Structure 1
Amino acid sequence: MQSIEKNKLFLASCLALLVTSLSFGIRAGIMSKLGTDFELTAGELGTIIATAFWGFPLAIVIGGFIVDAVGMKKLLVMAFVFHLLGIVLTIFAQGYWTLFISTLLIGIANGTVEAACNPLVATLYPDNKTTKLNHFHLWFPSGIFIGTLVVLLFDYLGLNWQIQVGIMLIPTFIYGFLFSKLDFPVTERVASGVSTSTMYKSVTSPLFLFMFICMFGTAITELFTGQWIEMLLKNVTDNSILILTLTTGVMIIGRGVAEPVVHRFSPQGVLVLSAAFAALGLYLLATLTGNSIFIGAFVFGLGVCYFWPTMLGFVSENIPDSGALGLNLMGGAGMFAVSIYTIFMGNFYDQLIMENLPSDANAASTSPEEMNNLLELARTAAGPEVLKVTMVIPIILVVAFIGLNFYMKNKKKVVLA
């Protein structure tokens, strides 16, 4: 394939992922407004957020099974349609169920984008997969970064959240147009002649299953925290959405310079460092207050920066016969885990708020103003507690990835012997 065509495909893939990440960044920034406008509890908001993570694994896993047969172009046309429907329905949402359905549609679109684009990038750059997947996934934090700035700017201008959501239509139409005009290669597995039975055997290997399980933890650490950070810490600092802005800014820079980092430490070495920094970052976010909390955001951004693309790159490089199915099963595993964890922690957050209210506080005997103050104090205490519970996950991952490093070193010694 000519380099010009290859670059156009990569650019269009990045724009499609930008829409995916804008949906995360803008939704994270308007979550409180949605709760207020539609009178939703934290548990209901958690369920709405989770639908994006349900639609994602549904689409990415199904896409993983059919992408070799139907081709990557048809999947991306489907992604464009689902993005368009989901965005428009969100703009005209009337309550819980329209938000639920619109978020589900956007989740399906997001999963379909990754189902096609991850194997597309691996196919376009077979000799530099981990680095190029990091460059591709640079556009995920970029979209969240841009989305949070859009929320801040539009809030300052007094524009409503519907206009903020509508901004996503611009890159949606651009990537839809570009993909409709470009020719696509077949997937790397099909081009290399690896049989379907070999592919299925690869995704049941012990190493793949280990990475599959670890993907639960890396995805939860990155995506749950990112989607909930504004709500969990909005009473700790006056600029809680800027925490997400800083975190994603660090991720953009980190993924942009991924090549020397990955080559210096190896993918599995990068994963150890990532888990350690993510755990430390969550601890700092949960304990620091005021402007010093941005130190925690910086450290956390360093931690989660390489998680998602390096997990995919490791699988693509070390279990190449797993093909597009392997990449998409990994992505589906991560998003499914986030969906379950989000629902659980939304209810846990509500429970913590109730536990932190004084025992004699109730709507009948307490003035509305005093009750609001008590709720604010309860939320201030509850948010960091959720982060402390989540911190256990990257701590476990540190141990798991250290074990992976020893395994890969021993495997290399055996091969050399």
Structure 2
Amino acid sequence: MTKNVNDGINRQKIFLISVIALFTSGLSAALRASIAGDIQGNYLDAIDLASSTIMIGEILGISFLGFAFSLFFSSPLLDAIGMSRLLMLSAVCFIGGTLIVIFADAFAVGSDIYWYLWGGMLISGIGWGLVEGTTNPLTTSLYPEDKTNRLNILHAWWPAGLVVGGLSGVALSAFDLSWKVQFSLVLLPSLVYAYMVFGMKFPLTERAAAGVSMKEMLTEITRQPSFFVWLGAMILTAASELAPGQLVDLVLTRTVGMDGILLLVYVSGLMFVMRHFSGVLLRFISPVGLLWCSCALAAAGLYLLSFANSPLTGFLAATIWGIGVCYMWPTMLATASERYPRGGSFFIGLMGAAGALSINFVLPELGGIFDQAKQDFAGGIQAFSLLEGESLNAALISAARTTFQSIALFPLSLLFVFGAIWYRERLKGGYSPVLVTSKELSK
């Protein structure tokens, strides 16, 4: 018989800890996006106006590199190090990284401030990666019979963090409170879940409980070449969801006539609600079919965002995009776990790391596309620096259009990939997860 990984485990409390930790990750991400304009205006424009959007893209993007780095290395070592230790370390990283960003101008002056901002975001990203590297396989261990639904519920609390972070940023800005006060909110939930971890007994991962050794888990990738198709798809789905979310306030605020962060809050609230109903959708459509529909809507929404020039068109486009990207990340993780159970936490970690790495490289590239487009519209950086009023808005609208249309190509290309997989599975009688016993896993 398969060992019950939940013997003696307080499943509800451990899932609550996971929820708060992922909420903290979302809160940090929202506040990073919310303060990006302040950081760019206060520091980066003075350092290099021509490349300030690239620089803020690098600062925002480095958190995703930290995420990918810690996720990649922590996932295969999850049982060896211990879930409680990794969750505790993640809280320390959130606290330390946040404080470094807040006090960057106290540590350095001039162009050196960039590196403190960059380093603080990197450490915060490492904390985020440790959360993902722990909570995803933890959830599949707690709920092995309901992976896709439970991972969607867990990841509903990522957009919940985005909602709270976005609204807090807008509210505190209305009271003319510093961006530093806004970003310090990350400290509160970090301390809460760090305290809750003390004294808790955590389960083994599903892989370890089934008797699969670490060596078998690591070498499984050589036996599953089809897994690389899913890695490639994860790169594009992550870019479709997370890159626009990091740029929406910076890029859309001037073009839609309202705080762009409010669009991110609205979409995040939509995602929070919808992810709780993934189990209902999966009764009627397979996970791959759900991913195909998600990509179709995401591509359409991103294309429409490129033309958004008012609050109404902004909300309409954001709704379509938000519905499209809602189920992408958790469904991709669950699908990898269900298709390749011998890969365990290592495969889940690789999926998350691939998604994060894509954002680290995509954000600066998108910043470069935006910077180049605004300069091309104005006729050069000197001409752009002199624009104001309607002329400035026209340049930003043109740059936003080019940027979002570029991102729309990512989910558009995946329609062919997921369409082929979906069609092939239907010919074989439909999708079904790989179900194996402990004895079979150990072969």
Q: Percent identity?
A: 32
**Mapped contact 1:144–1:245 kept (Cα < 8 A):** yes
Aligned match of 1:289: 309
**Mapped contact 2:337–2:344 kept (Cα < 8 A):** yes
Q: 1:78 & 1:414 partners in 2: Cα distance?
A: 38
Aligned match of 2:62: 51
Give 1:373 deviation, angstroms: 5.9
1:405 to 395, 417, 422: 422
- Structure-to-structure mapping, 1:229-308, within 5 angstroms: 229-239=248-258, 240-290=260-310, 291-308=312-329
Answering whether residue 140 of structure 2 is matched by residue 119 of structure 1, we say no
Answering whether residue 72 of structure 2 is matched by residue 61 of structure 1, we say yes
Give 1:60 deviation, angstroms: 0.1
Answering whether residue 406 of structure 2 is matched by residue 389 of structure 1, we say yes
Q: 1:116 & 1:413 partners in 2: Cα distance?
A: 31
**Mapped contact 1:219–1:334 kept (Cα < 8 A):** yes
TM normalised by structure 2 equals 0.89
- Structure-to-structure mapping, 1:143-154, within 5 angstroms: 143-154=161-172
Q: 1:112 & 1:228 partners in 2: Cα distance?
A: 24
Aligned match of 2:173: 155
Give 1:409 deviation, angstroms: 3.0
Give 1:3 deviation, angstroms: 8.6
Answering whether residue 141 of structure 2 is matched by residue 136 of structure 1, we say no
2:244 to 216, 225, 240: 225
**Mapped contact 1:232–1:384 kept (Cα < 8 A):** no
1:104 to 117, 122, 128: 122
Answering whether residue 72 of structure 2 is matched by residue 81 of structure 1, we say no
| Cα distance change on mapping 1:237 and 1:372 into 2, 3 Å | closer
**What amino acid maps onto 2:426 in structure 1?**
K
Q: 1:153 & 1:203 partners in 2: Cα distance?
A: 47
Q: 1:174 & 1:414 partners in 2: Cα distance?
A: 40
Aligned match of 1:8: 13
**What amino acid maps onto 2:266 in structure 1?**
L
Give 1:376 deviation, angstroms: 3.9
320-329 or 65-74, which deviates more:
65-74
Give 1:370 deviation, angstroms: 4.5
| 1:78-99 Cα distance to aligned partner (Å, 9 max, x none) | 1111111011112212121111
**Mapped contact 1:202–1:208 kept (Cα < 8 A):** no
Give 1:203 deviation, angstroms: 2.7
Structure 1 ranges of 4+ moved more than 6 A: none
What SS does structure 1 have at the residue aligned with 2:71? helix
Q: 1:288 & 1:383 partners in 2: Cα distance?
A: 9
Aligned match of 1:20: 25
**Mapped contact 2:9–2:201 kept (Cα < 8 A):** no
| 1:169-191 Cα distance to aligned partner (Å, 9 max, x none) | 11000000111221111111000
Answering whether residue 216 of structure 2 is matched by residue 211 of structure 1, we say no
Give 1:371 deviation, angstroms: 5.5
Q: 2:427 & 2:344 partners in 1: Cα distance?
A: 25
2:362 to 338, 341, 360: 341
Q: 1:324 & 1:39 partners in 2: Cα distance?
A: 39
- Structure-to-structure mapping, 1:191-210, within 5 angstroms: 191-204=209-222, 205-210=224-229
Give 1:223 deviation, angstroms: 0.3
Q: 2:90 & 2:424 partners in 1: Cα distance?
A: 38
Aligned pair count? Answer: 411
Q: 1:140 & 1:60 partners in 2: Cα distance?
A: 16
Aligned match of 1:91: 102
What SS does structure 1 have at the residue aligned with 2:44? coil
**Mapped contact 1:80–1:176 kept (Cα < 8 A):** yes
**Mapped contact 2:93–2:126 kept (Cα < 8 A):** yes
TM normalised by structure 1 equals 0.94
**Mapped contact 1:86–1:102 kept (Cα < 8 A):** yes
| 1:134-193 Cα distance to aligned partner (Å, 9 max, x none) | 000001111111111001111111111111111111100000011122111111100011
Gaps of 5+ in 2: 1-5, 46-51, 106-112, 433-443
401-410 or 44-53, which deviates more:
401-410
1:318 to 339, 348, 351: 339
Q: 1:246 & 1:80 partners in 2: Cα distance?
A: 27
Aligned match of 1:173: 191
| 1:367-413 Cα distance to aligned partner (Å, 9 max, x none) | x7656764443222101210001101111111111111123334557
**Mapped contact 1:91–1:162 kept (Cα < 8 A):** yes
**What amino acid maps onto 2:418 in structure 1?**
F
- Structure-to-structure mapping, 1:343-382, within 5 angstroms: 343-358=364-379, 362=382, 370=387, 374-382=391-399
